[in-house]
Amino acid sequence: MRFENQRRHDSIRPCYVINGLQQLGDVGASVIPPHIMIPNLGLSFGFGPDPGPSDMVSPPSLHPFAVSAMLVLYTSIYVLPLYISSSSRPSPTLSRDDPRVIRTRVTSVLFSTVICCTITYIVLAQLPDGVLPISPLHAMGYWPVGLAESGSALLLTSILFAGPLYEALLIDGLWEDWKTLEPLTHVWTRWTTWRNIVMGPLTEEMLFRSASVPLLLCAHMSLTQTIFLSPLIFGLAHVHHFYEFRITHPRVPLIAAVARSVLQFAYTSLFGGYATFLFLRSGSLLAIVLVHAFCNSMGLPRFWGSVEPHWHLHGHYTHADARKWTVFYYVLLFTGAGLWWKGLLTLTESSSTLVPGRF
């Protein structure tokens, strides 16, 4: 989907800018006269797709600064209400994993997410003809649902996690739990699992991908900026965990708490870039919610150390045996990464992509 200004031999369609966004971005009239051709100034500063003949006709319908301000506002709407109520605000005696805190927070972020998604839908629905060639629901990933795209995205991500899957299912013996579907029952019976696997991925992807990425595209930001800007906002939305950690773990050295937050910001931003890429390629909100849930369930992969098979706990242990299983883990880890890279474009190809011809 290329957001290009349509040319006509006899006239150029005027570009109407939504008043609220105009006030945040440009100061001036909200209608650009059809007889004036204004260069895309945002393109000169790195905003917008690769330059083309039709990219230099008029400014983007949404100003990049206005969109960036909206994303920061969305993050504030998502995070700040968590600290308004004492029932959702962690304290030295109240953990964020307390069921009361989880229930209150889930209700709060769900309400905030619905508000932000509604704002985005209204903005997209009021854009002038031609700026958004697809429906707002498609741009936000709701329709088409993308069942095939979801399966492909999960397969691709599972290949990347080949090593961790091997460790979790075989080495740690979780395959035995899956025979009785016990891990699935935890989703409905444990509040922390419900938050981490269901509501967290759902609300975060609705807000930071579905409600944010279409706005960046309509501001004519390049794919690189779109893929890496929204994840930075996504990463910043997790920085508040530093405050929570300091409150609940006051004896942990400050440098250790800072390092923990920096690491969390890094991997949440990295995942955010991957999720944005999948969203642009698949056009499916369901796909990235499922991938997010899968990654949350797996956690960070092991990059050092040795694996310890669960049967070693029962006395069947030799150092040679441990080395064998560990070597196989790292072979799977790096082989999976290579196969993931090789299939990155093939397994994410879709007719529902939000940016056809842009990759």
89 in a structural domain: yes
Rounded to whole angstroms, the Cα distance separating 354 from 134 reads 8
Query: In which band, very low, low, confident or very high, does the pLDDT at 137 lie, cut at 50, 70 and 90?
Result: very high
Examine the residue annotation and report whether 238 is marked as an active-site residue of this protein: yes
Annotated catalytic residue within 63, 138, 149, 204 = 204
| pLDDT over 50 (residue 15) | no
Flag whether 327 is in a domain: yes
Note down the domain range covering 233.
66-342
What are 191-197's contacts with CB under 8 Å, separation 24+? 191/97, 191/99, 191/102, 191/103, 192/97, 192/102, 194/102, 194/106, 195/102, 195/105, 195/106, 196/296, 196/297, 197/293, 197/296, 197/297
Answer with the residue of higher pLDDT: 256 or 92. 256
Instruction: Output the pLDDT for position 175.
Output: 85
Nearest Cα neighbor of 225 from 233, 74, 40, 156 is 233
Q: What is the pLDDT of residues 279-296, one digit of tens each?
A: 999 999 999 999 999 999
Contact 30, 208 (CB under 8 A): no
The pLDDT value given to residue 138? 97
Is there a domain that residue 157 lies in? yes
Average pLDDT over residues 43-66: 51
Over residues 342-354, the pLDDT tens digits come to 999 999 999 999 9
Name the 3-class secondary structure at 9.
coil
Task: Tell me what pLDDT residue 19 has.
Answer: 41
The backbone region for 146, taken as left when phi is positive above 0, alpha when psi lies in -120 to 50, beta otherwise, is left
Calpha distance 348→279 (Å, rounded) = 9
In a domain, 79, yes or no: yes
Closest CA to 24 of 79, 72, 80: 72
Q: 56 in a domain, yes or no?
A: no
* Residues 4 and 55 sit within 8 Å (Cβ to Cβ): yes
Q: Domain tally for the chain?
A: 1
Does 25 fall in a domain?
no
Residue 60 banded pLDDT, cuts 50, 70, 90: low
Query: Of the given ranges (161-170, 206-215, 260-269, 332-341), which has the lowest mean pLDDT?
Result: 260-269
The reply to whether 22 falls in a domain is no
What would the mean pLDDT of 305-331 be, rounded to a whole number? 79
Whether 244 is a known active-site residue: answer no
Model pTM above 0.85: no
Residue 12 lies in a domain: no
Beta bridge partners, 31, equal 16
The active-site residue, picked from 4, 186, 238, 312, is: 238
pLDDT mean over 266-280? 93
